[in-house]
């Protein structure tokens, strides 16, 4: 009876009046902000201080690859252990790592590239545990009717943090030293890590936890793969994630500066406007989805919007002037969260609560894993002389074809609420 009453109260409580959600939201902001600031610090130090631009890729690979594999492990742990403890471990471990790196910057005249690479790898390992735990925790502190809005607030905060992190880090580096900035980020992570321990989780999953505790780690990992692939809706969602990242990440994210320089004949200021327009679009899209709080026909809407994004890419590839490029890229940016947020909410709604961590980590890892492949394909096509606007146009076509196939071949997707 008390549990039913608690659920009713949670259902009618505005998200920002829920201390559990606010704490999770703040912890997410700090985690994303620390990641973007850390990446900027590492990148700038390698380029500006060490003068080793060619070795920058080593540090970035260490960070992204370790984070990608860690997310798979984090998904199992999120279903097996208490999510708040995992998030505390993630934040506090990264805080200790940054504190150690700050000491290295303080006492070593020139920090070697291998120290930065190892630190980046461990930062990726511990950072990769955070997202699956957060995604698994969210359905337990908000009602299903609030999931779309909650995810929009979370994703919007992530976009703002990822955008503002490098700006903030760049500003602070011009004022304070590297080690002071690292200590500052370390303190933020430490405070965020402690705060998540006070999140109150909706009871009722203890039986599922006990079941998971009896299963070995490898069995749980395998169970997550099998469960995701056997469920037609989850299989469709996984396929959509893979397709959108393969055909959009490389041509758009990697190709944007090339497009501005070679097609629009723009300079660094023009690129900043286009890049800023894309980021503004993502933030605006997150806000709009949060206001709408889409709870019906989310699968069908996601497919329509992916098709619209494909058309947007096709239109963008034909643009020749900066004044038209900016509004088009804003539209493409708005569609990004408008697609991702309903899909994330669908996964959290239709997945068994004791498997959310594993399913979300597999979907996120699938998307992260294909980004380097998308970059590699784009680089290869550019290397053989194909222009970036042609690559963008081509990438939009398989996107549109894939959406059509998914719409016809996966009726459960277009009917999913």
Tell me the three state secondary structure of residue 146: helix
Q: What is the pLDDT, as a whole number, of residue 4?
A: 47
Sequence-distant contacts of 382-386: CB under 8 A, at least 24 apart: 382/255, 382/258
pLDDT at residue 193 tops 60: yes
pLDDT at residue 275 tops 80: no
pLDDT at residue 203 tops 60: no
- The dihedral through the CA atoms of 380, 386, 392, 396 has a sign that is negative
pLDDT at residue 3 tops 80: no
Instruction: Encode pLDDT of 280-308 as tens digits.
Output: 888 888 888 888 777 777 778 888 888 89
pLDDT at residue 210 tops 70: no
The Cα–Cα gap between 301 and 296 comes to 9
Report the mean per-residue pLDDT for the chain.
81
- CATH for the 217-415 domain, from 3.40.50.150, 3.40.190.290, 1.20.1250.20, 1.20.58.110: 1.20.1250.20
Instruction: Tally DSSP H helices, then E strands, for the chain.
Output: 18, 0
CB proximity list for 219: less than 8 A, separation 6 or greater: none
Q: What is the pLDDT, as a whole number, of residue 9?
A: 47
pLDDT mean over 320-334: 90
Give the Å distances, CA to CA, from 404 to 237, 247, 310, 408. 14, 15, 12, 6
pLDDT at residue 5 tops 60: no
The Cα–Cα gap between 31 and 248 comes to 25
Q: Residue 53, Cβ neighbours under 10 Å: how many? A: 11
Q: What is the pLDDT, as a whole number, of residue 95?
A: 94
Query: Where in the chain do CATH 1.20.1250.20 domains reside?
Result: 2-198, 217-415
Residue 53 banded pLDDT, cuts 50, 70, 90 = low
Cβ contact 404:282 at 8 Å:
no
CA atoms in the 13 A half-sphere facing the CB of 222? 5
Cβ contact 286:155 at 8 Å:
yes
The Cα–Cα gap between 302 and 239 comes to 13
Q: What is the pLDDT, as a whole number, of residue 180?
A: 92
Q: Residue 309, Cβ neighbours under 10 Å: how many? A: 26
pLDDT mean over 371-376: 72
One-character DSSP codes across 258-281: HHHHHTS---HHHHHHHHHHHHHH
Residue 213 banded pLDDT, cuts 50, 70, 90 = low
What is the distance between the terminal CA atoms of the chain, rounded to a whole angstrom?
Answer: 28
**Which tokens in the block code for residue 285?**
């899209």
Instruction: Encode pLDDT of 162-171 as tens digits.
Output: 778 877 888 8
Residue 18 banded pLDDT, cuts 50, 70, 90 = confident
Domain 2-198, CATH class in plain words: mainly alpha
The Cα–Cα gap between 346 and 234 comes to 9
The Cα–Cα gap between 348 and 339 comes to 15
pLDDT mean over 219-240: 79
Q: What is the pLDDT, as a whole number, of residue 98?
A: 94
Q: What is the pLDDT, as a whole number, of residue 90?
A: 92
In the block, tokens 């643009």 appear at 319
pLDDT at residue 311 tops 50: yes
Instruction: Encode pLDDT of 122-158 as tens digits.
Output: 998 998 898 888 888 888 888 877 888 888 888 888 8
One-character DSSP codes across 57-89: HHHHHHHHHHHHHHHHHHHHHHHHS-HHHHHHH
């Amino acid at each position: 009876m008390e549990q039913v009453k608690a659920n009713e109260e949670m259902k009618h409580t505005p998200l920002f009046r829920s201390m559990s959600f606010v704490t999770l939201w703040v912890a997410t902001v700090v985690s994303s902000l620390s990641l973007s600031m850390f990446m900027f610090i590492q990148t700038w130090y390698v380029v500006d201080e060490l003068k080793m631009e060619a070795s920058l890729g080593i540090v970035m690979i260490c960070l992204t690859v370790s984070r990608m594999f860690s997310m798979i492990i984090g998904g199992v742990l999120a279903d097996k252990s208490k999510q708040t403890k995992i998030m505390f471990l993630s934040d506090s471990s990264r805080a200790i790592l940054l504190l150690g790196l700050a000491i290295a910057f303080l006492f070593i005249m020139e920090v070697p590239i291998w120290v930065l690479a190892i630190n980046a790898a461990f930062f990726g390992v511990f950072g990769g545990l955070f997202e699956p735990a957060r995604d698994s925790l969210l359905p337990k502190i908000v009602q299903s009717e609030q999931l779309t809005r909650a995810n929009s607030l979370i994703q919007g905060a992530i976009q703002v943090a990822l955008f503002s992190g490098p700006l903030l880090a760049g500003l602070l580096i011009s004022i304070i030293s590297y080690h002071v900035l690292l200590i500052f980020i370390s303190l933020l992570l430490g405070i965020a890590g402690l705060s998540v321990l006070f999140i109150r989780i909706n009871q009722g999953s203890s039986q599922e936890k006990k079941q998971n505790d009896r299963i070995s780690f490898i069995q749980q990992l395998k169970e997550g793969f099998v469960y995701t692939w056997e469920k037609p809706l989850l299989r469709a969602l996984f396929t959509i994630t893979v397709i959108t990242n393969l055909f959009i990440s490389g041509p758009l994210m990697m190709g944007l500066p090339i497009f501005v320089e070679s097609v629009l004949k723009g300079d660094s200021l023009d690129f900043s406007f286009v890049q800023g327009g894309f980021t503004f679009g993502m933030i605006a899209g997150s806000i709009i989805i949060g206001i709408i709080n889409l709870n019906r026909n989310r699968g069908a809407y996601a497919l329509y919007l992916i098709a619209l994004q494909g058309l947007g890419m096709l239109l963008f590839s034909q643009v020749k002037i900066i004044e038209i490029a900016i509004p088009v890229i804003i539209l493409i940016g708005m569609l990004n969260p408008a697609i991702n947020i309903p899909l994330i909410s669908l996964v959290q709604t239709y997945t068994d609560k004791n498997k959310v961590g594993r399913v979300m980590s597999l979907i996120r890892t699938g998307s992260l894993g294909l980004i380097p492949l998308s970059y590699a394909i784009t680089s290869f096509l550019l290397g053989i002389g194909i222009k970036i606007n042609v690559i963008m146009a081509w990438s939009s076509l398989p996107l549109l074809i894939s959406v059509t196939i998914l719409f016809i071949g996966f009726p459960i997707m277009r009917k999913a609420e």
